[in-house]
Every structure is written in C-alpha cells, then in structure tokens.
Amino acid sequence: MSDACGCSDDKAGAGESEGVEEVVGFWQVGEVRAAAVAGVLLLAAWIASLAGGPPWLTLPLEILALLVAAWTFVPSTLRRLAKGRIGVGTLMTIAAVGAVALGQFGEAAMLAFLYAISEGLEEYSLAKTRRGLRALLDLVPAEATVLRGGGEVAVSPAELVPGDVMVVRPGERLATDGTIVTGRTSLDTSALTGESVPVEAGPGTEVYAGSINGTGPLEVEVTSTAENNSLARIVHIVEAEQSRKGPGQRLADSIAGKLVPGILIAAALIVVFGFIVGDPVLWFERALVVLVAASPCALAISVPVTVVASVGAASRIGVLIKGGGALETLGRIRTVALDKTGTLTRNKPAVIDVVPAGSATRERMLAVAAGLEARSEHPLARAILAAAPDRAAVTDVNAVPGSGLEGRLEGRRVRLGRPGWIDAGPLATDVERMQHTGATAVLIEDDGQAIGAIAVRDELRPEAREVIARLNRSGYTTVMLTGDNLITATALGQAAGIREVHAGLLPEDKAEIIRTLMARQPTAMVGDGVNDAPALATADTGIAMGAMGTDVAIETADIALMGEDLNHLPQVLDHARRTRRIMLQNVGLSLALIAVLIPLALFGALGLAAVVLIHELAEIVVIANGVRAGRPGRKTGLMAVQPSPAMEPAA
C-alpha cells in the first residue's frame, strides 16, 4: 500500500501482513468497530442537540467520538512522522487538530469518523481479496491416509514426507503432490487448472494437491511436503509478487507522494494569506478544508485494490499473474505470438502416412527408423517407435543438430532426417504432399539411397481454431512461431486461422522475431515455459502454458496457464484489458475529484464536513470499482470451474 495513503506501517507492507490475514468478517476490522462506536456517539450528540440539550451534554459525546475514531489513524500517523514519512493520515490529523483549535469539535469528530470508515473498508476489501487466494489451500483435506507399518494410518497432511504412500479413495482429494504407484482413475483438476474435463491418470502419472480422485482407488507416492506442494507454491508466489508495481500504480504513487507535501505547503500559504488580508480565522479554516479536499487516499488505493482483486480472481481458475506489473502489461498487449508444438498442438505427434521407396518394404523402413530413434527423446521419435513393429539393430547412432540422426546397420551407413539433409529423390512429390497436409516429413536413407518417407503430424488442439478466431475478433494480431518447415507450418497456421507464420526458427530466431513484433505493438509470447525460454524472456509478457507442477515455468513466466486448455488465453487477456480499464477509471476519478474539490474548498463553497463526506464516499466508490476486477465480466468468462457433484466425497 502506498505511503501516500494514511495506513499504519503494520498494514502497509508490500506483501501480506498478519493484520490483514487475521481479518475474517467485516466486524473484525478494528477501524470498522471504532467507526461504529464513534458513529453511535455522534448520533447521540446530534439527537441531543436537536432536542435542545445543553453543551455540557453534547460536547463530551463529540469529544469521545473524536477520540475513538482518531485512535484508528493518529497513532500510526505519529509513528510515520517520527520516521520522516508523511501521508494522508498527516493531512487528516492536522485537519482534526485545526478543527478542535477552532472549537469545531463536531466537525473534527465527523472527519475522524468518516476517515475511520474508509480505512476500515480499505483493509477489509484487501483482506477479502487475499482470502480468496488463500482459499486455494482449503482444497487440501484435513487428513490423509498413508500406508505405514503394514496398515493404513490417518495423518495430518503436514506430517506427509516424500516417499510416503497415500491411499486415495474415489471422491477424495489429494493431500499433496505425488506419483501414482497403482490404480487408474479420472482426476478432477478444475480447482487447479480451471479445466472441467477430468484427466485420465494411471501408474507413473504425476498428480497434484487438491485434485479429486474420480473413479478408482489409488496408491500415490508422495513427492512433496504440504508446505511446498503445487497449491502452496501458487499461493506463496502470487502473494510475494503482488507488490510488483506496474506503470499505473507507480504513477498513482508518484502523484500521491508529491501531492501531500504540496498540499501542506499550499495550506500554509493560505494561512499566511489570511494574516495578510486581516481575516486569519476564516482562511485558517479554509486551509483545513483544502487539506482534506486534496487528500489523495482514493488515488493511492485505486490501483492496489484492483490488482489484488484481479490477480486473486485469475489464480482461482488456474492462471498465475505475477503482480501488478505483469497484469498491466498484459492489458496493453496487441500481438500474441504462439509456439506451435505443445501450444497450438496437442504435443502428441503420431505417424499418419508411410511411403516406402524402391525395393524397401514398409516394415523394413520403419524398423530402420525405429533403430535410429531408439534412444531419442524427441516427440517425433516416440511417434515413430509407436508405429514400428520391430527395431533394426542400428549401432554408433549420432545426432546431427538441426538435421537428424545417423548410424551403422550391418556395416552400411543409415540416416534419418529432414528433407534437404537427405535427398528425397523419387519421394519428392510424396514429401511435398505430406507437408501440405500439415505433417512433418522424415526421410530414411540406407547406404546413400532414400528408402522411404514418414509423415508425422501433431494435431491441433480441438479448441485452437476457436481461440484464434476469438483473439482475432478482439483485435489481437496472432502470429505462429515454429522450428518446423514453412510448408507444414503454413498448413497448420491456415488450419488454426493464423495468417502470419514464421517457420524454420531456432530458439534464438524466435527471440529475434519477438523483438521485431515488439517494435510494432506490445507483444506476448505463449510457449511451454522451457523450450521457448529466450522468446518468453524477450517478449513484453511471457505466458507459459501447461505449467502445473513445472517449477521453472511458474518461477520465470510473467503469466502461467496452469492447465492445457488454450481457452484460458483469450479469457485472461480480456480479463487484463478489463482490469486495466478499471485501474484507469479509478485513477481518473480520483484526480478529477481532487481537481473539483480544491477550488470549492478554497472559495468556501464547501465546509469541512461536506468535503470529508464527499471524499470518503468517493474512496468507497473507488474501492468498490476496484473489487469488480475480482469478478468475471460478461466478455471474459473468467470463472472458476466448480467440481462435479459426482466427484465430491459423500457426506
């Protein structure tokens, strides 16, 4: 929270604070309770005054109301002044003391009462939005069942250690991250990734805390403690990053920080003017009103409350946003560059066509290809190995970066790789046909002769075309970046609805293309968070997709889409745009209010109580408007997917 706002040091930390986190209900906020007591006392004084009560009855009520309300900000203001820091609390304290000096105890009490209400609402709104984020931790069950000593034992999730084996029955939530040892099931991960379709899982599958086991009993080996599992990391990272300020917040802080000293100087000059014209009391009173009229508390809180609400809302549907800076930048994005493999496509390539050449049979050609790919980790290798019934005994296999593989088979040189590195010969027409269908063509060569071509295609995600269409309708320029050949990339780009395609790129080439795009418009890069690291780091905003459980992606990306559903991309972009509009509305309203109130206060059109009331009502409006960023707009569709009732544990 900005120093310009009159908040205590205890509440003004950049991250979470104990005072904020302890708040649960509205009436648990100390400022709200104090304001309520002060309000009752002021009401009693007002009723007594209307009934013609004597001053000895109304005055003590007003003084008591002033003391109760002032307790919420005067002590913290004095502590800040002792450290050489001034803020809105300083203005309010001076105004209240000045009103008392003029004998206007009722006005001073009203000022303190209204300011206490605004402080309480500010604290409550921030605590509420932070609680929405912390609620993710409630997805962890109260106890977990583990196998110990030959039997099942119920323990607290905090007692789980890596190596423990959890027993997770249908309908139960996972207490921490782990790997399935035995059992098959469908997992509901909607609370983590925002994806409503259950995920099939079996032995060897990594699973995450908070997921709901759907259909079958599981034994899961624990891989993370409760304090460091995926849910806890999400919450801790977002809370730590909420203090990263964007341009809008830095602007608001800068204006507010410079405004407070300027207001004090202006008020002092008004008092001096009063002595010069011979009416010091009148101009002293107007100086106090100007102090309150120019208070920038609404300005100081306008952006932080919006950021906290917006980041919390995104986290609840499986989108991590690293603070206000990333959020504001995302709201300015106009070009979206997407990696092909794993982003636009499923990252599950499969062999779709096999064409042998010469005297080679389909089986022999596939066997040679499988022999070369036997130890490769490339996605294309997995597709070829899955399609080959046998593997040839290929030895001395070496990888040729950017080209393919070569080895020895029965003394002959055999190769597998891209067209161009291997001469397609009679297969040239088939290779071109494969590429035009959006497939990657791989040639196999035996002793200098091409013996066949294999077409491997990674299918587009089913939602890819609609997502790209939505981005285009929203005014974004979409670009595809890939290391694949131009013909294949163009075919896939056309299928997805992307007109601008850059193919044949190395990682450093992608980063260079991103720089070119950034020179035209603010640009976001969407990739897998690891292979596309240079481009993600270069872009105005790096968006890592499918980052659930990936430490590198979560730690390094500006934005992380925890699941594999590409629909979250336009949702979070629209959400960021809407949030940025709310920020600008709040900043504009706050500045306009100050610009209008200062001259009205200076020329006596408004008194102290009226200015305080208008100012604090405006702050309530700013807070309420900022909190809207935590609720989905009609266009964004940003909404957490609720788990299916069928997957909830039985009561």
DSSP letter at 356? E
Residue 275, burial from CB neighbour count under 10 angstroms (0-12, 13-18, 19+): exposed
CB 308 within 8 A of CB 281: no
Residue 650's pLDDT is 35
CA distance 365 to 449: 12
CB 606 within 8 A of CB 614: yes
H helix and E strand count, the chain: 22, 22
User: Which among 339, 458, 558, 565 is annotated as catalytic?
Assistant: 339
Residue 645's pLDDT is 37
Q: How many CB atoms sit inside 10 A of residue 301's CB?
A: 30
Strands (E), 141-214: 144-148, 151-155, 165-168, 178-182, 185-188, 199-201, 206-207, 212-213
Q: Are strands 541-545 and 559-561 parallel, antiparallel or unpaired?
A: parallel
Does residue 390 carry a catalytic annotation?
Answer: no
Q: How many CB atoms sit inside 10 A of residue 352's CB?
A: 16
Three-state DSSP class for residue 532: coil
Residue 3's pLDDT is 42
- State the greatest distance between any 2 C-alpha atoms of the chain, in Å, as a whole number: 116
**DSSP H helices in 503-607:** 507-520, 533-538, 551-556, 568-602
Residues of the chain below pLDDT 70: 1-26, 86-88, 118, 121-122, 124-138, 190-197, 234-259, 297, 300, 377, 379, 402, 529-531, 547-557, 632-651
C-alpha angle 132/585/608, rounded to 5°? Answer: 95
Distances from the Cα of 140 to the Cα of 173, 208, 388, 642, angstroms: 7, 10, 44, 16
Residue 21's pLDDT is 44
Tens digits of residue pLDDT in 224-234: 888 888 777 76
- What's the token pair of residue 637? 């569709």
